[in-house]
Chains A and B, each alone.
Chain A
Amino acid sequence: MIKLLWNTEYQNLPDPNNPTKQDLVDNKWGIYHKKNSDRWIFNILKNVKFNIIDDEKKLKKEDILIIVDSSPEKKKEFYIKLKLACNKIFLIHLGDESGILDLSSIYDGFNFVWRSFCLRRFFDNKKVKCIPIGYKSGVHLNKEIKKKYKWSFIGTPHRSSRHDLLFQLSQIKPSFCHITKKFNEKIIDSLEMSKVLSSTEFIPCPNGFFHPETYRLYEALECGCIPIVENAFQYYDRLFPNNPFIKVDKWIDAKSIIKDWNEEQINKKRKECQLWWHKYQKQLQEDILNTITL
Chain B
Amino acid sequence: MKDSKLDKIEIFIKEQKISEAQFELSKLGKEYEKNPDYLFLRGKVFYLNRLYYAAIDALLIALEFEKNNKIYNLIAEIYGVIGNNELKKKIMDLNLRSEAIKSLKEQLYGIYRK
List the interface of chain A (C-beta within 8 A of B). Answer: 156-161, 163-164, 167-168, 181-182, 206-207, 209, 230, 232-233, 249-252
Contacts and interface: CB of A to CB of B under 8 A. Distances in A.
A233 B52 CA distance: 12
A251 B82 contact: yes
A47 to B, nearest CB: 38
Contacts of B56: 160
B29 interface: no
Given A181-B109, A182-B109, A160 B53 contact: yes
Contact of B107 (A157, A168, A209, A250): A157
B53 A164 contact: yes
A158 B109 contact: yes
Contacts of B57: 159-160
A164 B109 contact: no
A163 B82 contact: no
A158 B50 contact: no
A161 B107 CA distance: 12
Nearest to A182: B109
Given A232-B54, A249-B52, A250-B52, A158 B108 contact: yes
22 contacts: A156-B110, A157-B107, A157-B108, A158-B109, A158-B110, A159-B57, A159-B110, A160-B60, A160-B111, A161-B53, A163-B104, A168-B84, A181-B109, A182-B109, A206-B53, A207-B53, A209-B110, A232-B53, A249-B50, A250-B52, A250-B83, A252-B82
Interface string B86-114: 00000000000000000010011111000
A233 B56 CA distance: 16
Nearest to B55: A160
Nearest to A255: B83
Q: Give the 4 A-B residue pairs with the shortest CB-CB distance, closest first.
A: A158-B110, A252-B83, A161-B53, A160-B56
Contacts of A164: 53, 82, 84
Interface of B: 50-54, 56-57, 60, 81-84, 104, 107-111
A250 B52 CA distance: 7
A159 B108 contact: yes
Contacts of A168: 83-84
Given A159-B110, A160-B56, 5 more contacts: A159-B108, A160-B53, A163-B104, A233-B51, A251-B82
B83 to A, nearest CB: 4
Contacts of A206: 53
A232 B110 CA distance: 18
Nearest to A231: B50
A167 B84 contact: yes
Contacts of A158: 108-111
A291 B92 CA distance: 57
Nearest to A210: B110
Contacts of A233: 51
Contacts of B107: 157, 163
Contacts of B54: 232
A167 B88 CA distance: 13
Nearest to B46: A232
B61 to A, nearest CB: 10
A259 to B, nearest CB: 14
B78 to A, nearest CB: 9
